[in-house]
Every structure is written in C-alpha cells, then in structure tokens.
Amino acid sequence: MEHRLTSAIETALGWNGAQELGNGFVRGTIDDPELLTRVLTPNRMLDIVMRRSLNRPQFRAFQRGDEVHPAVYFTDSVSPRGQSIPMVDMRRLGGLLREGATLILDQANVFDPTMEVACRALQWWAHERVQVNAYLTTNDASGFPLHWDDHDVIVVQLAGEKQWEVRGTSRAVPMYRDADPNYTPSQDIVWAGVMQPGDVMHIPRGHWHQATRDGRGAGNSLHVTFGITKRTGASWLAWLGDWCRENEIFRHDLDRWHGTGSEALTEAAARLVRERPPGEFLDAHGQEATPTRHVPFLGIFGPLDSVVCASHFPPQIIENDEDVVVLALGKKLTFAAKALPALRLLLSGRPVHLAHAATVAGAEVTEVAEILVEEQICAPLIPELSLGYTGLVTSEAS
C-alpha cells in the first residue's frame, strides 16, 4: 500500500524501507503542511473524544505532571429511560485545556478512519503491528515524566511546538516483561530541542525521553506517536511453546520425584528449535489469523460496489501453472489462474471501485471481490472508511 504519510516519514528520516527501525535515534522534517492537517488536528481530536464513550486508560488528562482524576472531566449521560453512559464533559475538559493540560488518546486508530488507514499502511511497510496515540498539550503544561517505551516509536509533530529531551538506553533492548525493571534513566542526552510542525523523529525501544510545554506560555501542541512492536527472540520462544503441544512428550507431567525423561525432553526441545526456526515464526506472524475490524457486507443495504484490502499485513499471492493461491489472515484461498489480475488489484491496499476495475482486470473482478469480502480479507469501502484513504492513498481508478 503506497501511503502518503509513510512515504513522507521515510523521506524525512532518510530511510529506504523499514529495516532501519530500532537501529538508532534519527530526526527529520516533512515539508508538506497540508498532509499534517489531513492526518489530525486539535479540533478533530476533541471531536473524536466528544462523540465516544471512553474510559481510562484509553483517554487521560494530565496537569502539572500528575494524572487528573477521571471524575473531574467525565460525566454520566443519562437517557430518558435511565440508561447511563460515561461521556467526557466537554465544558469541564475545556476548562482544563484553558488552564493548561495534556490530553492523551490511546489507539486513536480504533476510532478514526484516517488513523486506522495510516496504521495499516505502516503495518504493511514494517510487517509489524502498529498503533497510534495522540497527545494534545495546551499552554505551558508538562507531559509524562522521563520514561522509556518497550517498542520503537515514530513521532510526528502535527501542530504547535513542544520541547523534547531524548536520552540513550540504560539497559539494552528492555522489554515489558523483563528480568530487570530498568528504573534508572540514562545520563546520555542524545538530543534536546523543540519539535515544530512537520518534524519527525524515531525513538528506538528503551531510549528515555520526555516532552513538555513547561514555560512556553500560551499555545498548543499536537503530536502523534506510532508505536511499532517488533518480534523478539522471546516472542519466538513463546511461539515454540504453543507448537510443542503437538508432541506428546511435552504434554506429560514433569516428574518431580524421579526426574526421569529429562534427557528425552531436552532432545525434543532442541529438535523443535531446529524444525521451527525464527524465519518460520516471522512468516507465521505475517499471516496472523486475527480478523480486522470493519463493517460487514450485507446485500440488503445495497450492492458491493467498492472494496479495499483490510488484512493486517500484505496478503501473499503465489502463482502456479493452473491456479493462484492467496495466503492472508491464516487462510489459504485458491483461485483460477485467470483471477490473477483481479487479485493483484484487489489486494493492493488501494481502494477499488468495481465497475471501473472490471474494465482493467476483467469481468470476474466482482466475483473475486465478493469471495475476498466473505473471507474478511477485503472490506466494503463505505463512505466513512473511504475518508481514511482520500488524499492519502491513490485509488485504483487513479
């Protein structure tokens, strides 16, 4: 999927692909103001918050470095029948913002189609799962204290300015579940400065960092962080733990009293390691079976006229002499060889308008699209989802 934001990030950081992820701190600038406002604005973030029932920790507010109790800015919206739904009280939230506060919306991609499409494009690019958090800070509020993340982060400053400090690691590649809590910040300052609209930086896992508007006076800052969690050796071993259940020897109880069978168990474990190498684990991760969230296609609402590939990662298309095999979301689908042009189009990650696509890829494109939608590899391109692609991903018709 060719996405305008992904291309801009690559260019800004001087990268040629995702192989540089995690390799070192780097900064750059996106020279495209229109792209920044297209991704997200402060008012659009507040509109997202206003229209949804959110709970901590998905939505949080901070003042003077401390988290504001949700009771301060949440209220219960009660229906005439007495049904209660927790909603953000926008008047109270506005008061916090006037005083100076930092608002954090975790997983904005769950609520906003533009954020959803941007994360999917980055997932196709990195072949790893991605989520995006949005941070809105007003006046001279501070944000999180000095901390580190257990995943690589790409930060994009969308509006206003914010002061940052980035330090090196105090433990090599720390993890969420680790043998060391890693509480002591590094004293090695890698970079300190102000992020302005369009600025981008890549903060590798474990680098300590903090951002604030403390002392900057009136104004605001909006930035998004794309968190990219890469697979590790520990992830591979956990995956092997699932595979070992196929072998009876691993399903037997461990004999605490006699200790027999330990040699055979060790040999079986070594054999499993050889038979299921890390490369196979990465391939399996790329065909993750979890379906994506999208509106289902129901013929009672109208015909299927536009679709888009909605898998977590790029589907694998395997060409054979007499057929074509598609691997995606843990499924294996086999099509006649003549379906190849339609499959390449439908699985490109670009919006596809079927009436036009038929003139490009043949009349069978609609039938193939219906199969892919039924298997949840493609999703109907309803107007709301289409907004996430408009101006950011070129359509098949273009």
Percentage with pLDDT > 90 across the chain: 84
Q: How far apart are CA 345 and CA 198, in angstroms?
A: 32
pLDDT over 90 (residue 145) = no
Please tell me whether residue 5 adopts helix, strand or coil conformation.
helix
Identify the CA nearest to 311 among candidates 397, 228, 377, 217.
377
Task: Output the pLDDT for position 89.
Answer: 96
Burial 203-215 (b: 16+ CB within 10 A, else e): bbbbbbbbbbbbe
Q: pLDDT grade, residue 397 (50/70/90)?
A: low
What does DSSP assign to residue 147? B
In angstroms, what CA-CA distances link 167 with 100, 142, 189, 192? 26, 18, 4, 9
The sign of the dihedral angle between the CA atoms of 121, 122, 128, 133 is negative
Rounded to a whole number of angstroms, the CA Rg of the chain reads 24
Mean local confidence (pLDDT), 194-207:
98
Scan for tokens 């507010």, then name that residue.
61
Q: Is the pLDDT of residue 360 over 90?
A: no
pLDDT reading at 309 higher than 90 = yes
Q: What is the pLDDT of residues 18-59, one digit of tens each?
A: 999 999 999 999 999 999 999 999 999 999 999 999 988 899
HSE value, Cβ hemisphere, 13 Å, CA-based, for 360: 15
67 pLDDT above the threshold of 70: yes
**Predicted local distance difference test score (pLDDT) of residue 104:** 97
Please give the span between the terminal C-alpha atoms of the chain, in angstroms, as a whole number: 14
Neighbours of 250 (CB within 10 A): 14
- pTM score, two decimals? 0.94
Strand segments, DSSP code E, in 161-305 are: 162-167, 189-195, 199-203, 209-212, 220-229
Distance CA 204, CA 26 (A): 9
What span, in angstroms and rounded, lies between the C-alpha atoms of 131 and 120?
9
Which of 283, 182, 181 is closest to 236 using CA atoms?
Answer: 283
Q: What is the pLDDT of residues 106-126, one digit of tens each?
A: 999 999 999 999 999 999 999
